[in-house]
Structure formats: C-alpha cells, structure tokens
Chains A and B, each alone.
Chain A
Amino acid sequence: MSLIQALATSLSGLNATQTSLAVVAGNVASAQTPGYVDRTAVQVATTTGDSESVRIASINRLLDQFVQQQLRTETSGGAYADLRAGFFQQLQQVYGQPGSDSRLDAVFNKFTTAVQALATSPSSTSAQGATINAAQALAQQLNSATASIQALRTRADQGIAGDVQQVNEALKQIATINEKLAGDNTNDGAAAALADQRDQAIDQLAKLMDIHVVPGSGNQVSVFTGSGTSLVTGNQAAQLAFTSSGNIAATQQWNAKPSKSTLGTVTLQFPDGSSTDLVANKAIRSGEIAAYLDMRDNVLVQAQSQIDEFAAQMSRALSDTTTPGSAAAVGPQSGFDVDIGGVLPGNSIHITYTDAGNVAHNLTIIRCDDPTALPLSNSVTPDPTDTVVGVNFTGGPASVVAQLTAALGATGLQFSNPAGTTLRVLNDVANTITVNNASTTTTATSLTAGGPALPLFLDGAAPFTGAITGAGPESTGFAGRITVNSALLANPTALVAYQPSTPIGDSTRPNFIYNQLVNASPLYSPATGIGGATAPFQGTLSAYLGAVVSAQGQAATTAQNLQSGQDIVVNALKTRFDETAGVNIDTELSHLLTLQNAYGANARVMTTVKQMLDTLLQL
C-alpha cells in the first residue's frame, strides 16, 4: 500500500464521479424528451491485489415493466375509445342540431306540414310548389346525410391505410433495434438510448393496435398481436398490407368472403411469405385500427341502413297499394284469385292460411328476378311471423305457379294460373287447410295509375320497389339516391290529379299522402339496430326517426363515457409509470450535490497525497 496506490484509487473515484455526473447531466437535459427513461449509473468497487478502486459497471434504465405493459394495453383501449368518440360526435352532425331548422326530423316535419297545407288548398299552385320544394329538401337532406356518412367511412378507410403504414414502420424499427442490440450484453448509454427508441416504437404500435410484448434474453423483445399472432421475433418483422378503396359508396361493404367483399381488408404478411386476414380472424381488437374498422364496417353501415330504411319506408308508404284478392272456388276447394300483372321485383303477394292443426301461417311471396339472390331468407321482411318465398317472374305465370308449387306444395296449398296474369291459390280437396286471405302489394309507377298512391320519390330515375338482387336489397344506399319524381317537378298538379278527370280542388291524393306520412305504421327492419328480430320496431315515420336519433345519441354518449373512463385509466397509469421512469429534477439535483461532494473528497485525497509526497521529497 503506497501513496501512489492511494492516488490511483482517488483518480478512479474522480473518473467514476465524472461519469455519474454525465448521467445526471443527461437526465436533466433529457427531462422533457419524449420516451426518455430516467437512468442511473451503477458504481462497483474493484480490488486488484490490495489496491481498491471504483468503476461504473453499467448505466441502468429505471422503469417498472409491469406498469409499462399495463400502460400499453390501456393505451390501445384509450386510442380505440378516443377515435370512436370522435367519429360518433361527427356522426351526430348528420342528425342536425336540436331546435335547428336543418335537423333531419324538422325537414321531414316541414314536408308533412306542406302536404297538410296542400290538402287544405289542393288547387293552390303555391301549395303544390311548396310541397315539391319540401319533398326536394327532404330528399337532399337524406342525400347529404348519406354523403356525410360515406365520407366518414372513407375517412376511416384512409385512417386504416395511414395506420397500417405507421404499424409497418414501427415493426421494422423494433426489428432493426432488436438486431442492433443482439449479442451485445453491455448496458451502456448507447444501449439505453436504443432501448428508449424501441420502447417508443412499441408505444406507438400499442396506440394503433392491441399488442402483447414479451421481453427476451439479450436485450431482445418479441411483439405479438393481442390474439397471439407474432409480429416481431428477433430481427424479423411481419408487415401489414391494406388497400384503401378511395371514395366509398354505401353499397360497398366488407365481407369475410373475399369474392363478396368490396372493401379492403388488413392482411398480415409474414417474413416467410405466408399471410393471414386479420379482419376476418378478428385479430385486431383494440387500438385505432380496430376503431376505424368498427366504424367503417359496423357503426356507419348501420347508421346508413337506418336512414336507408327511413327513405325506403317513406317512399313505399306513398307508392305501394295493397289490393285484396277475390274469393275463388273450384269444386270443394276454396281460396283466392290475385292479379300478379302489376307485381314488380320487390313487390309481394301475401297469403294467410290455417293448417290442419289450426295454426295460422303468413306467407310472403316476393318477386325476385335475380337467380343468384334466391332462395330468400325469412329475414328479408321485418315481419318475424312470415315465411318468405322468392319467385322469379321472368318465366311468366306458368313458371311462377311451378316455382310456388315446388316451394309450398308440402303445405297443401295449390297454385294455378286459370287465365291471363291471375294467380289462384286454393286449399286442398279435403279442406283440411283454409286459405284465409290473399292480397298483392304493388308499386305505382305512374302519377296517374288510378289510385291516390304515387311514385313521389324515385330511386334515381326508376320507381323504388325494394327489389332484391344478388348484390343486396335495393334499399342499401337508397337514401343517397332518393330524388323527387321529375315528372312531378314538370307537372306539380299531379300531386292532386290522380286521374285525368280529377277536379283541381279534389284533396283525395294530398290527404292520402298526409295520412301515409303521419299515420302509416310499418314494421322496420331489425338490421337497422332499431327493434329486435322477434319484435321489430313498429311505428310512424316520425316515431322511427325519433328512435334513430335517440339510438345514435345514446351510442355517442356511451362512446364519450367510455372515452372519459379510459382517459382516467391511461392518465393514472402514465402517472405511475412516470413516477419511476420520469426524470425527477429534485432527485437529480440531490445526486448532483452528492457527486459534487464525492468529487471534492476525491480531489482532497489527491491534494493530501500530493502534500504528503511533497513532505517526503523535502525530507
């Protein structure tokens, strides 16, 4: 043990203190740097022979990994809730501001008010004009509501595209850093900085989709989707692929079957070349992408179907007429004759009969000329009690009879075509079943079809009949295509004149329109989310609009509440995380004081050694 030894020891102390000081300086300087994790220098004492010295063994990042994992999970949920709440708030704009004149229900009310005024003054050209204008305003409101909803879907679609790009960059970055850190077991400042960067990439990823991070040996991490599919292993990163669809139309919808889907899906491409559909497998459950997908494929599709249903029911309430069949009897058999000459695709024939067990049955026979759409499901009508049979009419009455016999022969009902376009439905010869009623529902295609019903609204330029094709029901996106019949624009007196000889003061047709708008109480499709499948919503158009606005309002409120709750959780976790990982200036300054003292002490030792050496030399 010599003085020189002491000098060397205090020199190592000075060095270690300087390094620690650098770490403190780094902490203070980076206190506000995003993703920076508080560092601490770990000093160890070393002994060589009987000489003691000190050195910095490693620079450690101070973080609570459990809280970090928790925070990432909740960050996904927070981003999901944020985005949904934002979309729901924007969707609220479609229904307008309460109390304003432009809200959807107010525009509808204005239309009924105008019709009521027309019923009072059928001959007044200004009342006719006001009715047409109000109808146009309503059609335009529905058009623009559709445009708004589809614009939101387009935004969601583009959002997915942007997010997928960010996901891919983050995945690549994680893999790259994994590679850089691989095999390097030193924990120096550079490694800590890389780890910071990787954590930031993972945090970014957690915002976009739900992930699960598993730390491995040798500074490696593996990243999985919430459902367990691997995204990053070592230096291998999978990549997401998504094709944005540009401007989305109401008829474009995602489907699990790629052949039926008209919208892009998110696929995961593995480094080995294989791929999997993350949307079809429901592998993305949280984060921004899940929120975008939910909006694009569920929430906004349903919002669209709600206003489509409104437009369809309103249009059909004005244009459809139900004609009862006439009683028919052949020998011991009895039943009804209905004229199917005016039945258009989407129009229907209703038959009620009682079977041998005295159980009443409802039959709805729908004209459906697209063979790819057949057979029809019972759910194409909102009525939960009816059996639906789709029939292709293109082969003429004989073919209709053949198809009905094939589909319904087992019930005992007998169909025939006695003449022309007459369809006859009879019970069995033994009279064990009873045909109670038969009627047809047809759509008026001309303004002077004879009755007060009229095609006031059109689907583009064609009458809206609710036809069902392989591509789906005509009602999909109808709210975006609904227009006021151009023949009415050219000739507003047709609002009154339902026959060529109708006197100008005859209020039959305006009264019919008003009554249908205000009092008609149809069943609404449960696919709109209003009402259930077994007890569909039944009510006036105004009541249905109220139900829609209320349901959407509730959904928006729920989304907002979820968001607020999630915010609190995320904030609490962030605070907890930062308690450990954040730079505390007070702590750093107290470290600074300690280090300053240690440095001073080491220097003092050296001064003393120098003085002792001087003393020795002066001997």
Chain B
Amino acid sequence: MAISGIGGNVSPLLQSVLTIDKQLQDLQRQLGTGQKSDTYSGLGSQSSVAVGLGAQLDATASYDNTISIVGTTIDLAQTVLSQVAKSGSALKSSAAQAPFDPDNSGVTTVQRTAQGALDTVLAELNTQGTNGYLFSGSGLNQQSVDTSSHILNGNGSQAGLIQVIAERRQADLGSGLGRLVISAPTPTSVAVSEDVAGSPFGFKLAGVSSSLTGATVTGPAGSPSSISVDLGPGNPNAGDSLTYKFSLPDGSSETLTLQATNSTTPGPGQFTIGATSVVTAANLNAAITTGVGQLAQTSLSAASAMAAGNDFFGNPPQRVAGPPFATATAQVAGTAANTVFWYTGQNGPQPARSTAVARIDPSIVVSYGLRANEQGVRAIVQNAAVLAATSYAASNPNAPASYIALNQRADIALAVPPGVQSIQNIEEDLASAKAAMSDATGRHRQTNLTLTNMLQQIEGVSNDQVAAQLLSLQTTLSASLSTTARLAQTSLLNYLAPVAG
C-alpha cells in the first residue's frame, strides 16, 4: 500500500526502503525454509505443475510401499512353497525305494515318512503373512487347511480320508472280484462281465487277446461290458495263452494272463487242459476267478486308495453312495456335515493368483494370491495323506504286493506329468511377480529422482542465489538509508545562522 509520512507527505524514499525491507524478509524466509514461496500464488504459473508433481510423487511412494508389503508376502510364500516341494520330493524318493517293513501296528517306514511329510506340509500351508493366511485365496482370515488328524481320521460326524478309502475299497472290491462277474454261459465258454453298466467302481474291461487254438473270443462288448471266451469243441494247446486287460479306478491298468498247461498242478497264471473243452473251460473259469481275486486284493486295492484320495481331496469331496458300499454304483458329493473339507480357505471361480492383486505401477498389476488346493500343492498333500492313511496287516499274504502297488502309484503321481500344474509352476508365477516388482522399483527410483528435481526447481530455492540476492539488497538498503538521512539533513533550517541576540 501507499506509505504516507507522519504528516501525510509521501516519502518515495521511505517507500522504497520499506519495499527492500520486505524483500529482505522474504529472502530470509526462503533461506530458512528452502521454499520459494509459502503460498501457491508465489509459485506463479507453475503452481498446477507443482500440484501434479506432488500427486505423482505421492503415488510413486505408495506404489513402493505396496511393493515392499507384497514383496514380504511373496518371500514368505516362496519359502513355504520350497519347503512343501522339498517334502514332496523326499516322499517320492522314499516311496520309490522303501522295503515292506510293517511294525506291529502295520505301519511301514514309508508311511511314517508320509505322515511326517503331511504334518510338515499342512503346517507350512497354514503360514500367516502380514495380512493373514497365505494359502486361503482371498479368505485371509480363514485357516488354509485342516489338521492332519482331522484329514485322516475325521472330525466327529465328518468322515476323514481313512473312512473314505475304506468305503471306496468296499465299493471297488465288491464281493472280492473287483465288481466283475465270472460266469459260464455255455459249458465250453467263460464270460467276464462288469456288474453294472456305468458304475465308476471296480475293474473295467479294457481288452482281451488270445492265442488259444480253436477258441472264439468276443468283446469287450455289451452293456454292461462283457468278454466271452468260447473254447469250442476242441482243447487249446499247451502254451496257448489268454490275456485280459483291465482299467483300474486310478487310471492305471493291469493285465491278467492265463496259460494253458498239461500239468495237473497248474502254477499261478496257468490252467490245466482237461479231457474235454468243457473241463478245460471249468479250469479256466477257476483260474480267472483266482487271478482276478488276487489282482483285486493288490493292484485294485492300491488303485482304489489312490482314487479315494482323489475323491477326498476334490472340491467338493466325492463319497460312495451308500451304505451298502459293496454294491454301490454311484458317487455323491460330500457335505460339510458328513465329510472333512481339507481346504478351509476361500474358493471361487476366479484363478487363485487373482485373489490377491496389487498395483505396483500406474499400469502394472501383479497377482500373487495362493490357494492350498491348487493342483501343484494338492498333489503333494493328497499323496502324502493316501500313503499315511493305509495300513497293512503283516498276516495278510497280499500285503507286500498291495504295498508295492500303492508305492509305485504314489511315486508316479508325485512326478507331475507335463500339462498339469506343478508346485514349480506356482513358484515361477511368484518369481515373475517379484521380477516385475523389482523392475518397477528401479523405474520408480528414476522417476522419483526426476520428479523431485523438477519439484525442487519449482518450489525450492538455490541457497547461492538467495545469498547473492540478500547481499545485493543489503547494499541497496544501506545506500538508500544513508541517502535518506542525508536528504533529511539538507534543510535550510540547518544552515541559517542562529538569530543574534
């Protein structure tokens, strides 16, 4: 504002002195705070740029914060996954080599290993990160998996894996012949049929091949599927053989080969050529019954346990429709009331990875959600649990063969076939998320530096410049002050001689 002297007289010099004083004060403030202005108007036309830069800087800082939080979570998850993978491969090598050595409660070394692996893996899967359970999808407050005791033995009215395996075993074995019916439609023929068409249980007829001289082989055909071998009027020659091929519930297959022999005491897999083809057919019938019965006790039992594992660890778990189980022909979905659900986290249609997403850049989103029931993790839990759930009575003559059949199957199942998600695939997903974050961090550092420099140029001051301005203003001020003082002294009053008197 315009400055007036005491008497209302304008003093232009006084005005300029005050202006300089004000500038000095502002420069002092700039030197003290390092800020060009304490209002946006002082930044001039660049104030909106300053606002924009501020927003960008804050956003970058928040992305970096996100990266650090997500990075911690991913590190933790990677540790868990490598631990789980280690347990899985230890179990695989154990299953491949271990001898049959049941202790007095029927538990073998492999099973003890499997039990240990199951406990470890389940505990690992229940790891909590900063935000909650790592392997529960978006249900971060839900424990990821149930305890091994519940999973194996059940929980109250909820059935565990052991019960599911037992029920499935009854359904698969039926009366002992793996749900096959062996009959003699004519005196010279033997027919092997599935008991019910479309039943998921027991042996399935996959094929037959024969070198029996004079015999007519038909099938597998019909519904339910059936294979019929008619020896005809003549006998086969010794050394001729008949081979049945069966599919098992876990997708594996077995063959049963029967060889004609003239010996009256046929060995395993042989049948005696009788006086007539009618007698031979009866012998063949008996040999098939023995062979199938033995396969049912060994391979089918193992395959049934594997299939039961697959049923139990599915979502929802599949149960045999029964009781009675031995004659069951269908499966039903288990409910929370009657079956333990091993995975207790969040389920949903969206892929596991997208249950946790984080924006680490204006345009980049990383997905790092995990569920314990992803195939790669589930395969390890499932096979460990199946191995741990079976027990063998030392008195059972079929136990060693059954044991080997199961171990072989677990060994194969633990080696992930191509095209199926393995635990390594999950680790790769997380690793690529980490790589994206590390790239983003580098970019952010660069951006931050540039933006901070720009903002400093707009909002900040150069100390050298301010000091130079201060110095020059100081000079101007002292010059102005001394001029003002001198001007004030040049009044006629000071030069009139005092009145003589």
Contacts and interface: CB of A to CB of B under 8 A. Distances in A.
Nearest to A93: B39
Contacts of A294: none
Contacts, number: 196
B461 to A, nearest CB: 11
B55 A542 contact: yes
A504 B141 contact: yes
B62 interface: yes
B498 interface: no
Given A98-B43, A120-B358, A550-B45, A505 B61 contact: no
A120 B69 contact: yes
B357 A507 contact: yes
Given A113-B61, A507-B357, A545 B40 contact: no
A574 B4 contact: yes
B18 to A, nearest CB: 11
Interface in B34-73: 35-45, 47-52, 54-55, 58-59, 61-63, 65-66, 69-70
A121 B130 CA distance: 8
Interface residues of B, number: 63
Given A120-B70, A505-B355, A560 B41 contact: yes
A112 B58 contact: yes
A563 B41 CA distance: 15
Interface string A71-106: 000000010001000001100110101110001011
Interface in A556-577: 556-557, 560, 563, 567, 570-571, 574-575
Interface stretch (A46-54, A395-403, A578-586): A578-586
B137 interface: yes
Contacts of A120: 66, 69-70, 358-359
Q: State which size class the interface on A falls in.
A: 35 or more
B7 A33 contact: yes
A331 interface: no
Contacts of A545: 51
Contacts of B140: 122-123, 503-505
A39 interface: no
B459 interface: yes
A567 B2 contact: yes
B163 interface: no
A135 B106 CA distance: 64
Contacts of A550: 40, 45, 47-48, 51
Interface of A is mostly: helix
B318 interface: no
A36 B44 CA distance: 43
A518 B59 contact: yes
A285 interface: no
B35 A505 contact: no
B66 A553 contact: no
B337 interface: no
A511 B355 CA distance: 12
Contact of B131 (A33, A505, A554): A505
Contacts of A97: 35, 38-39
A31 interface: yes
A549 B48 CA distance: 6
A554 B9 contact: no
B132 A123 contact: yes
Given A109-B59, A505-B138, A582 B9 contact: yes
B7 A31 contact: yes
A552 interface: yes
A521 to B, nearest CB: 14
B364 interface: no
Max chain B C-beta neighbours (<10 A), residue from A82, A95, A593: A95
A179 interface: no
B1 interface: yes
Given A89-B41, A98-B459, A586 B63 contact: no
Contact of B7 (A36, A88, A570): A36
B52 A542 contact: yes
Interface string B1-42: 111111111101001000000000000000000011111111
Across chains A and B, which 7 residue pairs bring their CB atoms closest together, nearest first?
Answer: A32-B7, A550-B48, A556-B41, A505-B138, A546-B51, A92-B39, A505-B140
Interface of B: 1-10, 12, 15, 35-45, 47-52, 54-55, 58-59, 61-63, 65-66, 69-70, 130-132, 136-142, 346, 348, 355-359, 369, 459, 491-493, 496
27 contacts: A31-B7, A98-B37, A98-B40, A109-B55, A116-B63, A116-B66, A121-B69, A505-B136, A505-B141, A505-B369, A514-B359, A542-B55, A546-B48, A549-B40, A549-B48, A550-B40, A550-B48, A553-B43, A555-B41, A556-B41, A557-B41, A571-B2, A571-B10, A575-B10, A585-B491, A585-B493, A589-B493
Given A97-B38, A505-B131, 12 more contacts: A33-B7, A82-B1, A121-B69, A123-B140, A503-B139, A505-B137, A505-B139, A506-B355, A542-B51, A542-B52, A560-B41, A585-B492
